Chain A
Amino acid sequence: MGGGRHPAMGESFDAVYTRHGRSIHAFLARLTGDAVGAEDLCQETFVRYLQHEEQLSNRNGHVAPWLFRVATNLGLDRLRRLKPCALPEDLALPAPPVRVEDPVVGEQVRRAVACLGPDLRAAFLLRAHHGLTFPQLALVLALSERGAKDRYRRARDELARLLAPWFEDLMP
C-alpha cells in the first residue's frame, strides 16, 4: 500500500489522519484507560471513516465531531464489557497540599477520571481534554446542547469532589 495515500474527493485520508489521528487515539486511551487497546479502536474509527469518506468529504467542519462520535461509541462499547472501576478508594495522592505541577498529579487525575461513569468520563474528556465546543459535544453524545452542558457539569463537579481534598481551588 503506497505510503497510506488514499485519494478522496476532498481532503486526502493522510491529511485527515494527520489532523485527527493522534487526538482520537489519545481520547480513546484516556476513555478506556488502555493505550494499547486504544490503538485497535483508533484503527477501527478510521476504517469507518474510510467507509463513509465520500459522504464526509464535502463536510469539512463535521469530520472531527464525526470521528469523536464513532470513537466515543466504540470506547463506551468496550468499557461496558469491562467490570466497573474499583476506585475511588485507590485514589492516593500524597497528603495535601499538592502542587499541580507535580508529576504525580497526572497519574492521580487519570485515576480520578477513571472513577467517573463511562458517559460522564466521555463528556469530560471530550470537553476538557479535546476542546470540543458544546454544540460539538451535543452532536457527539447525541444530546441537546443543554443536555451536553448538564452532563459535562456533572462530570466536572464529580471530579472536583474527588480531587478537592488536594486542590481546594477546584471547589466553588
Chain B
Amino acid sequence: MSTPNLSCAEARAALSDRLDDLLEPAEAERVDAHVASCAACGAALAARAHVKSALEHAWAVEPATGDLAERALERFAASRVMSPGRRRLALAASHLAALAAGVLLALTLIPQGAPGAGVTPASSPPAPQSAVAQGNEAEPASPSSSAAPPAPPYLFAPRRIR
C-alpha cells in the first residue's frame, strides 16, 4: 500500500528538517518525491539551502595566533613534572631503583664459590633458569651474558663489576 503524497504545505513544513537530516528515512523519501515533482517546492528547498549554507559559512573565525600545539605540549610536560602525584611516583621509583642497585651490587660482590653463594637472596627476582643452574652447580660461575639471569625490568641497565 503506497502512502499518500505530501501536500505543498506539508512539504514546506518539512524542508528545514530535510536539509538538517532530521527526518526518518521514509518521511525523507516522501519529501524528496514531492520536491522532485513540484517546481515551487523545489525552488523553496533550493532557496532555503542557499540561506542555510550562507549563514553557516558567514561566521568565519581567525586561526589562533600562536602555536597552541606547542603550548599544550609544554603545559602537559609541566603538569607531569609538577603534579604531586607524579612527584611521589618518581620518588618511589628512584627508591626502588636504588634498592635494586644495592641488591645487584651485593650479589656481584659475593664470591661465587663462597659458602652460601648458591643461596638465592629473598629479594632477588625469580630466576627462570634455576633448574639449569642447579644442574651446573659444580661449574664456576660464568660472567658471560648467556649464563646471566634475564634482565629484570628495572629502570636502568645493571652492570656487573668484574
Contacts and interface: CB of A to CB of B under 8 A. Distances in A.
A54 B16 CA distance: 41
Taking chain B's interface residues, is the majority helix, strand, or loop, or is none over half, making it mixed? helix
Contact of A43 (B44, B59, B72): B72
Given A22-B64, A106-B60, A160-B16, 8 more contacts: A26-B61, A30-B59, A47-B72, A100-B54, A109-B59, A110-B59, A153-B17, A167-B55
Contact of B64 (A42, A152, A163): A42
B69 A169 contact: no
Nearest to B9: A172
A111 B26 CA distance: 36
B137 interface: no
Q: Is the interface of A mostly helix, strand, loop or mixed?
A: helix
Interface string B115-157: 0000000000000000000000000000000000000000000
The 8 closest A-B pairs by CB, nearest first: A100-B54, A46-B72, A106-B58, A17-B69, A26-B61, A50-B76, A169-B47, A43-B72
A4 interface: yes
B84 to A, nearest CB: 16
B28 to A, nearest CB: 13
Given A4-B69, A46-B72, A109-B58, A169 B20 contact: no
B119 to A, nearest CB: 41
Interface residues of A, number: 44
B72 to A, nearest CB: 4
Interface in A132-172: 134, 149, 152-153, 156, 160, 163, 167, 169-170, 172
B111 to A, nearest CB: 45
A91 interface: no
A51 B76 contact: yes
Given A129-B59, A170-B48, A170-B52, A39 B66 contact: yes
Contacts of A39: 64-66, 68
A79 interface: no
